[in-house]
Amino acid sequence: MALRDIADNAAVAAQLSAVIRSGKVVHAFLLAGGSPDGRLRLGNEFAKALLCESGGGDSCGKCLSCVKFDDGNAEDLIRISLREGRKSILTEQIEELQGRLLYKPYGRKYVVLIEDAGLMNEASQNKLLKSLEEPAGATVMILLAQGTDSLLPTVVSRCSTYHLQGGAGAGSEAREAAVALLREVLAGAPYYRKKQAVAALIERGRTDAGQVCAEFTDAFEEALRDELVRVHGTPKAAETGDRLLEAAAACAEARKQIMQGQSAAYSVKQLCLRI
C-alpha cells in the first residue's frame, strides 16, 4: 500500500505526497481526527513515503527502505505507542526517544510515529516539546490523535496539522453525543438525563441500521479514555476512575450488541442504564 492507495482521506494523502515532492518537509506533522484505523493507516503510509529512497513523493514499494518497512525492519522508523497495562504514554518513553535521536540514522532521516499522541499526559507532552522546538538532526515526527483538544496548545502550534475525515471525529454528531453523555456521567446524573443527552442519536439508531450508534460507541470510548488520562495522578482519579472504567466496559458491551445485529437504539439506551 502507498499514499496513492488511501481512499478515505485521499485529499490529505495527496497533500502529504506533494509536501514530500516539494522538498519542504517540516519537522512535525499532526494527523487529527478520522477513525483510529484510518489515522494509523495514513500515518504508516506517510512514514513509509518519507523513508522511501525514490524521492518521488510516495513509497515505491521496491527500494530497500520500502522492503524493510513492509517487513517491520525499518531501522529509521521509531514507533511510540501505549505500553500494555498503561493508561498514558510515559515520560520515560519520550526520554528513550530523545536518547536515540542523539545518534545518526542509518539512512537520511529518522521518522518518529507517535500513535495515540493524545494519550501523552502533560508531563510527557512537555518533555516532547524540547524535541519539537529543537529537532535533533534530520528527524520528522508524525503525531496521531483523535483531536487537538487532548494536546497542549504548545504542542499543536509546533506541528503542521491535517484534519482527517471519517470515523467519529472532528465534530461529528456521534462525537458530540459522546461528549454530552460523558458530561452527565461525570456529574452522576440519573438515567433520564443520560438518555436525553443521546436522544437524537437513539432516534437515528432506529432508522440507519445502527451505523451512527456504532460510531458513537467508538467516540464515547475515546472520550472515556481521554478523561482517564486527564485525571490520572490527580485527586479526582480515585473518585472518577472506577466510574469511567465501568462506563468503558458498558460501552464495549453496547458495541458488541450492535455488531451482533441487535437494535442500535436499544443498545444505546441499555448503555445509559448501566452507567
Q: 76: domain CATH number? A: 3.40.50.300
Mean pLDDT, range 182-194, rounded to an integer? 89
Residues 31 and 133 reside in one and the same domain: yes
Mean pLDDT, range 5-29, rounded to an integer? 90
Structural domain count, the chain: 2
Residues 225 and 208 reside in one and the same domain: yes
pLDDT the model gives residue 175: 78
Residues 147 and 232 reside in one and the same domain: no
Residue in this structure with the C-alpha cell 517491520, named with its chain if needed: 72
pLDDT the model gives residue 168: 42
Residues 30 and 95 reside in one and the same domain: yes
pLDDT the model gives residue 105: 92
pLDDT the model gives residue 242: 85
Residues 188 and 265 reside in one and the same domain: yes
Identify the domain containing residue 59 by its residue range: 3-164
Q: Quick check: 234 pLDDT over 90? A: no
pLDDT the model gives residue 232: 74
Residues 205 and 155 reside in one and the same domain: no
The mean pLDDT of the chain is: 86
Residues 182 and 243 reside in one and the same domain: yes
The tens digit of pLDDT for each residue in 123-157 reads: 999 999 989 988 777 899 999 998 888 899 999 99
Angle at 242 between CA 236 and CA 246, to 5 degrees: 140
Phi first, then psi: give them for residue 69, nearest 5 degrees.
-60, -50
pLDDT the model gives residue 171: 40
pLDDT the model gives residue 48: 96
Confidence tier at 216 by pLDDT (50, 70, 90)? confident
Mean pLDDT, range 80-103, rounded to an integer? 91
Residues 187 and 126 reside in one and the same domain: no
pLDDT the model gives residue 179: 85
Q: What percent of the chain has pLDDT over 90?
A: 43
Last residue of a domain, one of 164, 189, 207: 164
Residues 143 and 50 reside in one and the same domain: yes
Q: Quick check: 208 pLDDT over 90? A: no
Residues 193 and 150 reside in one and the same domain: no
Confidence tier at 78 by pLDDT (50, 70, 90)? very high
Q: Quick check: 205 pLDDT over 80? A: no
Q: Quick check: 167 pLDDT over 60? A: no
**Number of residues written out for the chain:** 275
Q: Quick check: 110 pLDDT over 90? A: yes
Q: Quick check: 170 pLDDT over 50? A: no
Q: Quick check: 212 pLDDT over 70? A: no
Confidence tier at 209 by pLDDT (50, 70, 90)? very low
pLDDT the model gives residue 207: 53
Residue in this structure with the C-alpha cell 453523555, named with its chain if needed: 181
Q: Which one-letter amino acid corresponds to residue 248?
A: A
Confidence tier at 165 by pLDDT (50, 70, 90)? confident
Residues 152 and 50 reside in one and the same domain: yes
173-187 and 211-231 helices, crossing angle to 10° = 50
pLDDT the model gives residue 265: 80
Last residue of a domain, one of 131, 164, 197: 164
Last residue of a domain, one of 132, 164, 196: 164
Strands 160-164 and 77-80: unpaired
Residues 188 and 123 reside in one and the same domain: no
CB 120 within 8 A of CB 83: no
